[in-house]
Amino acid sequence: MVLCYLRTFTVLLISTLFLIITDAQGQSLENVQVQVDGDDINVSFDLVYKTSLQEKYDIEIYSSRDNYTEPLKIKEGELKDVPALNRRHTFILDGMENFAEFKGEIDFQIIATMVYSPVIIDRPFESQSYKRGRMVEVKWHGGIENETFAVELFKNGVKMETLEENNQYGSYNWAMSSKQKKGKYQFAIQSEKNMQNKVLTPEFKVKSKVPFIVKALPVLAAGAAAYFILNSGGESGGSGGGTESLPNPPALP
């Protein structure tokens, strides 16, 4: 299908062939349409998010007139931080400004570059408990290409330490000390490129390897046994004749 744009006897032929670029992170553009409205060219498409509706993209539109070298000038439409929440997007180009004195067939190239993707926690799950000395895995997804993250440890809402920096793998294993203090802990995943891209994991508990009551029982049992032996020994000593009274000394003359 060929759309004709007429202006002072200059014919601009716009083909319906679009080169759709999908970035390395997997989002795509669908249902691309172009319409000529007087001097304007309306370009519309659906922006399909990868993992979250909160993702944002930068949009660039090129044409084959200059072999896709310079982005076209946009008359109306936001090009920066475009939210994926609004699926359908329309951009208005000034035909005379972008294609003055040009005749022929035009192909368009649309590039959507992800500039923000929120971190989403996969592990640990809600209300998990771990014994001291165990390995605790934190796992997440999100972020943009080449974005790195810091992994921080919190206890009762207070930051304790930074466990790792420059993490771009989406996971981290915390080797907990066998003397780790009991309490409620959380990991924080913080983008090192965008300080607003930060999330806390659900709280998890660190508890003793052996419950206190189990450790205390042998001590209590040993104490009871010692008391019984001592008490029994005193009674047996008394039964060996020690209960008889000594005779009174003879009266003095």
The encoded tokens of residue 145 equal: 């290409």
Q: Is residue 166 domain-shared with residue 76, that is, in the same domain?
A: no
pLDDT value of residue 247: 54
Q: Is residue 70 domain-shared with residue 147, that is, in the same domain?
A: no
Q: Considering the entire predicted model, what is its pTM?
A: 0.69
pLDDT, tens only, 16-45: 444 444 444 445 788 888 888 888 899 999
The verdict on residue 66 lying in a domain is yes
Question: Which residue type does 37 have?
Answer: D
Stated as kind and residue range, the H or E segment containing 171 is: strand 171-175
Q: Is residue 67 domain-shared with residue 101, that is, in the same domain?
A: yes
Rounded CA separation 214/224 (Å): 16
Of 190, 207, 224, the last residue of a domain is 207
The verdict on residue 230 lying in a domain is no
Query: Is the separation of the CB atoms in 34 and 42 below 8 Å?
Result: yes
Of 83, 116, 149, the last residue of a domain is 116
Among candidate residues 144, 66, 58, the one with its CA nearest the CA of residue 102? 66
The verdict on residue 158 lying in a domain is yes
Q: Is residue 175 domain-shared with residue 153, that is, in the same domain?
A: yes
Rounded CA separation 225/184 (Å): 38
Rounded CA separation 82/50 (Å): 14
Question: If you average pLDDT over every residue of the chain, what do you get?
Answer: 79
**Structural domain of 22:** 2-116
Of 85, 116, 147, the last residue of a domain is 116
Q: Is residue 11 domain-shared with residue 110, that is, in the same domain?
A: yes
pLDDT value of residue 233: 55
The verdict on residue 144 lying in a domain is yes
Residue 98's domain is classified under what CATH number?
A: 2.60.40
Q: Is residue 12 domain-shared with residue 44, that is, in the same domain?
A: yes
pLDDT, tens only, 140-191: 999 998 999 999 999 999 999 999 999 999 999 999 999 999 999 999 999 9
**Weakest-pLDDT range from 73-77, 188-192, 197-201, 215-219:** 215-219
The verdict on residue 175 lying in a domain is yes
Rounded CA separation 91/117 (Å): 23
Q: Is residue 54 domain-shared with residue 130, that is, in the same domain?
A: no
Q: Is residue 98 domain-shared with residue 161, that is, in the same domain?
A: no
Residue 133's domain is classified under what CATH number?
A: 2.60.40.10
Number of domains in the chain: 2
